Amino acid sequence: MWLTRQVDLMRAAGEHFGRVFDRQGSPEAVVMLNGGFWETAGLTAAARRRSIPVIEIQHGVDSKGGVTAVGQEPHFRLFNTAPDAFVAWETVPRQCPDVLCVGPIGLHLPILLETRAPQDTPAYDVARALFRDQADALARRAAHAGARREILVSMQPVDDGEWIARIAAQLPPDVFLWCRRHGSDARRAMPAKAVLASDRSDFELASSSALPVLLDRVGAHLTRFSAVTLEAGAYNVRTVATEPYAETLFSEFVPPSYLTVAPAPSAAAAALITALDCQDRTAIRRLPDISRLADFVLQHTR
């Protein structure tokens, strides 16, 4: 019944987007982030039915959102509910002209800001200033708490945070937790279970800061199964996940030593201490070259 409901929703979305295209005019291309849901499948089907190319930016071509076979050449283009091309967060190139692996997209932003001349546009100055202000605010908060070691915590939607408190209770007092709430929870009140000691954690500043700024500071990453695992790996930050689902999602896309699954709070705390102790930030930003990104998009939208 659940699958039938999803198919019905997908068909309805396809008809709706099709009417929008027919009434308002078709775009030259559709670029979507993280498809694989009924609404994105319906949008893709409506676009492809009208010969509108669809490019999807996805965590990984072999992820649950991508219509492909694990370990095989992608065959997503055979389905009218799947895109014509993928821009993947993966860092290992694929031998497929319709897949471009660029690493986690958002992590390229600080690199681009650093390589652009200040006179390019005032917007670059604004972005640079924002990143500097966020980095300074994080540094002041950590110093006020007397933190010697810092961990980034990635939360999921409607996360009550109780699991974080159980792990934090077993960490040394000099470890500070930056607890980053999911974007969909921005207007939801913080559950009482998620409130940790103010000298050990921060939710508000962590949730409002850019991820690259946080990854520049921390020595380890804690999550249930967030895709931040991929971004942390690209910054040479090791992840400890509390749910085995994380291994299913991400183990193929990060080095083996960069993902540890530890469901028990004591095991998770021990794994975090190990990650902090072996922290090596001498070679951060292991990201592929994105100079081909614009050409790839144009190639698949003509």
C-alpha pair distances (Å), 194 with each of 155, 159, 186: 10, 8, 14
Position with higher pLDDT, 120 vs 179: 179
Of 30, 31, 81, 39, residue with least CA distance to 58: 31
Average pLDDT across the chain, whole number = 85
The larger pLDDT score, comparing residue 165 to residue 81, is at 165
Q: Is the pLDDT of residue 64 over 50?
A: no
Number of residues in the chain: 302
Choice between 272 and 69, residue whose per-residue pLDDT is larger:
272
pLDDT at 262: 97
Q: What is the pLDDT, as a whole number, of residue 254?
A: 84
SS3 of the chain? CHHHHHHHHHHHHHHHHHHHHHHHCCCCCEEEECCCCHHHHHHHHHHHHCCCCEEEEECCCCCCCCCCCCCCCCCHHHCCCCCCEEEECCCCCCCCCCEEECCCHHHHHHHHHHHCCCCCCHHHHHHHHHHHHHHHHHHHHHHHCCCCEEEEEECCCCCCCHHHHHHHCCCCCCEEEEEECCHHHCCCCCCHHHCCCCCCEECHHHHHCCHHHHHCCCCEEEECCCCHHHHHHHCCCCEEECCCHHHHHHCCCCCHHHEEECCCHHHHHHHHHHHHHCCCCCCCCCCCCCCCHHHHHHHCCC
| Statement: residue 65 has pLDDT above 50 | no
CB atoms within 10 A of CB 213: 18
Least confident of 125-134, 165-174, 279-288: 279-288
- Give 145's Cβ-side CA count (13 Å radius): 23
Residue 241 has pLDDT above 90, yes or no: yes
pLDDT in tens, 98-113: 888 888 888 888 877 7
pLDDT above 60 (res 67) = no
pTM over the 0.75 mark: yes
Considering only residues 23 and 252, tell me which one the structure prediction assigns the higher pLDDT. 23
Give the residue extent of every domain in the chain: 2-103+289-299, 144-277
State the pLDDT at residue 193: 58
Share of the chain above pLDDT 70, in %: 87
Residue, of 183 and 44, whose pLDDT is higher: 44
Place 10 in a pLDDT band, splitting at 50, 70 and 90.
very high
Residue 150 has pLDDT above 80, yes or no: yes
- If you average pLDDT over residues 122-141, what whole number do you get? 91
Percentage of the chain lying above the pLDDT 90 cut: 47
- Asked if 123 and 150 count as a contact pair (C-beta separation under 8 A), the reply is no
pLDDT for res 71: 54
Cα distances (angstroms) measured from residue 197 to each of 44, 61, 149: 46, 40, 16
- Report how far residue 279's alpha carbon sits from residue 237's, in angstroms, rounded to the nearest whole number: 7
Structure tokens at 270: 């021990």
Overall fold of domain 144-277: Rossmann fold (3.40.50)
